[in-house]
Structure 1
Amino acid sequence: MSELWSYGPDSRYTAGASLIGFKVEAADGHIGRVGEHTQDVGSSYIVVDTGPWIFGKEVLLPAGTVGRVDMEERTVHVSRTKEQIKNAPEYDKDKHRGDADYRDRVGDYYGRDQG
């Protein structure tokens, strides 16, 4: 499942590039902007600030859900629908870094819910 936590070879993500502030597009439309991201080998993710879409919530998306990064347009395209993202385990900014159980729940959800 570690590939779920890595940017895919077709994503066009360039190591070292910051995605903070990039627009995020789900398979069926705009969901927000990147508020945080990592590029740690085997544990990369983006945190999307959904703004008014889901009442100002943030969502954690494993890097493997990133289908394509458009550096020119400053847009991240993810391979999940709005509904799939909305139904994901709730983001917990206090747990996402060090809690293996939380990360496993998120990984299990996105791993079985492949777009």
Structure 2
Amino acid sequence: MTIDDGIWSYPAGSGRAGGQDLTGYAVVASDGATLGHVEREAAPFGMRHLIVDSGAWVFGRSTLVPAGVVRAVDPAGRKVRLDCTRDEVKQAPRFRTDSETRDSGYLSGVGDYYARLTTPA
């Protein structure tokens, strides 16, 4: 469905425990910028992702982040660390409405974007 179906699964060693609720966890980019908090998690079409409420950092919009971009989950600190920078998340295909989470074409485009970021050159 996308150039890297692994982009929709949490990486081994990320610390993500099955059934763990990440709602409310802070989301931190690889450059140390806090992007907002996890609003919810979903997996339509087997494409697991987080919806991140980014508050004011990008004019109050939410962002869709595939699970494969998660570098680490810190349950004690209630943080999710990503394997991309704030600017890379900001440049991702724009998330506008929940209906996009049911559009496999939109999700594939998001997956392709993030897979290019996380695939070694």
What TM-score, normalized to structure 2?
0.88
Of residues 82, 85, 99, the one that matches 2:86 is 82
Partner of 1:22: 25
Q: Deviations over 1:28-85 (max 9, x none)?
A: 1111100011367942111111111111110000000000000000000000100000
Between 36-45 and 81-90, the greater mean CA deviation after superposition: 36-45
2:61 & 2:45 partners in 1: Cα distance? 26
What secondary structure is seen at the aligned counterpart in 2 of 1:69? strand
| Larger helix share, 1 or 2 | 2
CA RMSD, 1 decimal: 1.7
1:48 & 1:95 partners in 2: Cα distance? 16
Matched residues, number: 115
1:9 & 1:64 partners in 2: Cα distance? 10
CA 21–57 in structure 1, closer or farther in 2 if over 3 Å, else same? same
Where structure 2 has 5 or more consecutive residues not aligned to the other structure, the ranges are none
Where structure 1 has 5 or more consecutive residues not aligned to the other structure, the ranges are none
Query: Is contact 1:22-1:33 (8 Å) kept?
Result: yes
Partner of 2:104: 100
1:57 equivalent to 2:61? Answer yes
Identity %: 36
Of residues 3, 9, 13, the one that matches 2:12 is 9
Q: Give how far 1:93 is off.
A: 2.6
